[in-house]
Amino acid sequence: MASATAIDSLKSLGRRGVGAPVIMLAMLAMMMLPLPPFVLDMLFSFNIALSLVILLAVIYVMRPLEFAAFPTVVLMATLLRLALNIASTRVVLLHGHNGPGAAGKVIEAFGEFVIGGNFAVGLVVFAILTIINFVVVTKGATRVSEVTARFTLDAMPGKQMAIDADLNAGLLNQEQARERRQEVREEADFYGSMDGASKFVRGDATAGILILVINIVGGFFVGVMQHGLSAAEAAKTYTLLTIGDGLVAQVPALMLSIATAVIVTRVSKAQDMGKQVIGQLFGQPRALAVAGTVLGVMGLIPGMPNIAFLLLGGTCGGAAWLMVKREREAKERVARLAAETPPPAAAPERIELGWEDVASVDPLGLEVGYRLIPLVDTHQGGELMGRIKSVRRKLSQEQGFLVPPVHIRDNLDLGPNTYRITLMGVPMGEAEVHNDRLLAINPGRVQEGLHGIPTRDPAFGLEAMWIEPGHRELAQSLGYTVVDPATVIATHLSHILQGHAHELLGHQDVQQLLDRLAQTAPKLVEDLVPKRLSLGVVVKVMQNLLAERVPIRNMRSIVESLAEHAGQSQDPGALTAAVRVALGRQIVQEITGLGTEIPVITLAPELEQILLGSLANGGVAGAAVEPGLADRLQQGVAEAARKQEMSGEPAVLLVAPQLRPWLARFTRHVAQNLHVLAYNEVPDNRRVRLVQALGR
């Protein structure tokens, strides 16, 4: 009850923000003020209990970041132990001549019971504990902390780019991406702090050795010169007290060093440490069988501890036999269930053909080679189905209509590691992935190479390398973006769908959008279709918008604009231009964000007049444009767009409204990231900044 009350009091102080100052003042008081032996006993016991709690918390925590306060806890525990060393040194030197119990029961117990009152044994035990702590545990933990901190900091850019890639592929939403970025930052801060905290532990071990030597020498002179003890009596008395004091401090220090070593050697994956160690260490029946055989042979050698070796050998062999037996029974159970499952009933043979015999074309298809089947099989841990679902959800939310499902099938005509993406039965993309490897993508600034299979990212054509999973951390530390095969396929699919969204939108989809709008604005939809425009014209306008990368989420504004201009023209191109003007604020915001300035590329007046005259003579197809001029125009637009991308700004070509539809089609395959806007599509609250004017 008392301990619970004390813990509640500490929590109350922590909530009020005065816990840390109170603890620091208490430590300073322990260093400055003399403490009675009873208080020392309580504090030494508390120090041992605190170190034990810290060690157990490290063992039971699921992942290191769940104990993010560990570096601060290490510092506070180290300061507490050093303060106790100062307080106990004062008591030992002032009252040590009165006997072993002068410094409290805890120090006396460690001096008399643990080492049997023999200071020579005590020195040896203390030296061994110090060597274990200082040379083995602390030194190893310090080195691991340094390496982990360096690799974690070096891997931050690669991890951030991987998060951005998952976000762009639709595998994460904004909130999840924000949490992942925060987790990466916290991980870097934690391991950076652990690099410094390990120095505290190492310094504490060094301080323990120095304090022991100082106390023995100081106690000897105090006993001989001030209290008149003989040299032998002073050496024995103060050495026993100092050894007891040192052991009381060294045991918690060793536990804290072990806790530090455990937390820096754990992986970032959330898992129980006990299950992880037991599962990986004793999860291989072959290893247990070989170990049992070796132990059994050693147990048969005369002179060996036969019973111990034979007992351990039999235990290992029995455990291996039980594991093999369980695996065999599991396989037999699965085979039995498969055999008991009745085969599907054969379909009755039809004499006449019907429409069901005509194969329909899937709007979206994904064909995979036989080695990629585990990626789409959820029973084998395949994640591709979930990734594709996330891509569809993200694109549906962005584009404003329901992206049709992807029909996945295996294709033995493909290579074993090859996949193919089809649109309306036509292959749109094909690439090769390795299910047992990871793809390290070079974003363009990485100079150091990796060992693996060279390739290119199928979505964006960047240089990449298929690497072993164990090289992930190295690749990320070098600046590569590392993704798994399922993410590669999902990103490629997302890229193709974004570029061909207009081909996926059909009459039924537009009718569904109109029906949803009719629930809130029935009169608006009723006046438009079919009174003013046919459904086919509306579908064509929607497809034109999607082809120009304009989402159709704002159905109300689109339908209102169509209803307003339907009496003036029935041409889908003219109606598309009118709708773009109505959606100008949305279009510009998606290009430039919330900024008030739009960097634009324009046409020189002379070139603009030539193109306007060519359109007047050749129609919207631009057939009257001179081939040489058309080629120079394409090259100029591509170069200007590339300069804008290199400067980190969007590439926007601002032209006359009559030229915009033709130039949008003319430059679509030359500069895919170029946005072609008309003068009347720029909102009044945006300022235009001229970047370059393209001439002849």
- What's the pLDDT score for residue 542? 93
Among the listed residues 539, 513, 497, 540, the one whose alpha carbon sits nearest the alpha carbon of residue 404 = 497
- What's the pLDDT score for residue 70? 81
Among the listed residues 129, 77, 68, the one whose alpha carbon sits nearest the alpha carbon of residue 263 = 68
Torsion of CA 67, 69, 73, 76, to 10 degrees: 180
- What's the pLDDT score for residue 670? 79
**3-class DSSP state of 601:** strand
Q: Which residue has the tokens 């996330």?
A: 390
- What's the pLDDT score for residue 620? 45
Which letter, b or e, does each residue of 134-154 get, where b requires 16 or more Cβ atoms within 10 Å of its Cβ? beebbbbbbebbbebbeebbb
Instruction: Return the structure tokens found at 684.
Output: 């009044």
- What's the pLDDT score for residue 131? 80
Residue 2 C-beta-side C-alpha neighbours within 13 Å: 0
- What's the pLDDT score for residue 320? 82
Q: Do 368 and 433 touch, CB atoms closer than 8 A?
A: no
Element (H, E) at 655: strand 651-655
Among the listed residues 389, 409, 470, the one whose alpha carbon sits nearest the alpha carbon of residue 437 = 470
Q: How far is CA 240 from CA 127, 129, 224, 236, 283, in A?
A: 14, 16, 16, 6, 47
Among the listed residues 8, 10, 219, the one whose alpha carbon sits nearest the alpha carbon of residue 96 = 219
**Residues near 216 by beta carbon (within 8 Å), at least 6 away in sequence:** 238, 239, 242
**3-class DSSP state of 422:** strand
Q: Which residue has the tokens 């905290």?
A: 197
Measured CA to CA, the distance from residue 260 to residue 148 in angstroms comes to 13
- What's the pLDDT score for residue 510? 92
- What's the pLDDT score for residue 97? 65
- What's the pLDDT score for residue 2? 46
Measured CA to CA, the distance from residue 317 to residue 297 in angstroms comes to 12
- What's the pLDDT score for residue 47? 83
Q: How far is CA 381 from CA 284, 319, 370, 371, in A?
A: 21, 28, 16, 14
Low-confidence stretches of the chain (pLDDT < 50) are 1-3, 620-623
**3-class DSSP state of 55:** helix
Express as a percent the part of the chain with pLDDT over 70: 85
Give the tens place of pLDDT for each residue, 233-252. Answer: 777 777 777 777 777 777 88
Indicate the pairing of strand 407-410 with strand 364-368: parallel
